[in-house]
């Protein structure tokens, strides 16, 4: 963010995450909760992997599912499943003191690999092949991944919105 003229400070804190079906539904109460405790502009982000054949699982609970059954669990659930389409979503929420919560989203469409591949990235990266590519996120150099990743896209969308958000 620095090269774009914004200074970002990392606040080491957690906030209560609500159980919900979409990332947006967890981010809005999170922003409000943090705003009551930190009187300054706040940005939070949250991501999830949504697999079509599994009705969106692991979705909003991707972090918990990764901690428990991991990539191997996802591959087991997808064993023999033809429709392997999936998407990563990243939502960035922003709120200013006295302002309203605002959210932008970045999406990266792709499919679930037949086996883990690559050692870069983190989380489900070894089993996610982005659309138009033959390698998983974990096999890509970070700058290349950032160009097409859900988080990279969400950050771009957020930076585009930010001047308006800081003015209004």
| Residue ranges in contact with its own copies by CB under 8 A | 16-19, 26, 29, 54-57, 59-61, 64-65, 67-69, 73, 76-77, 79
Q: Which of 39, 46, 52, 79 is catalytic?
A: 46
Both structure tokens of 158: 């957020």
Q: Toward its own copies, which CB reaches closer, 37 or 76?
A: 76
Q: Toward its own copies, which CB reaches closer, 29 or 118?
A: 29
Report the nearest approach of its own copies to the CB of residue 51 (Å). 9
- CA 126 – CA 117 distance, rounded (Å): 5
Report the nearest approach of its own copies to the CB of residue 36 (Å). 15
Whether residue 125 lies in the annotated active site = no
Q: What angle do CA 157, 160, 165 make, to 5 degrees?
A: 105
Report the nearest approach of its own copies to the CB of residue 79 (Å). 7
Q: Answer whether the bond into residue 30 is a cis peptide, omega within 30°.
A: no
Residue 150 region by backbone torsions, left for phi larger than 0, else alpha for psi between -120 and 50, else beta: alpha
Measured over the CA atoms of residue 121, residue 124, residue 130 and residue 134, the dihedral's sign is positive
Q: Toward its own copies, which CB reaches closer, 26 or 149?
A: 26
Which residues are designated catalytic?
46
């Amino acid at each position: 963010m620095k090269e774009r003229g914004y200074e970002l400070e990392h606040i080491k804190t957690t906030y209560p995450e609500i159980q919900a079906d979409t990332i947006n539904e967890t981010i809005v109460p999170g922003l409000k909760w943090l705003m009551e405790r930190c009187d300054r502009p706040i940005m939070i982000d949250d991501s999830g992997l949504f697999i079509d054949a599994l009705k969106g699982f692991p979705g909003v609970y991707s972090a918990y599912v990764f901690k428990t059954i991991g990539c191997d669990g996802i591959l087991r659930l997808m064993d023999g499943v033809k429709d392997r389409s999936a998407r990563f979503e990243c939502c960035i929420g922003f709120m200013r003191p006295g302002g309203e919560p605002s959210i932008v989203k970045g999406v990266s469409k792709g499919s679930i690999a037949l086996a883990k591949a690559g050692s870069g990235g983190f989380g489900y990266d070894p089993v996610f092949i982005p659309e138009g590519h033959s390698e998983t996120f974990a096999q890509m150099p970070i700058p290349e991944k950032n160009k097409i990743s859900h988080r990279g896209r969400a950050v771009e969308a957020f930076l585009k919105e930010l001047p308006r958000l800081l003015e209004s």
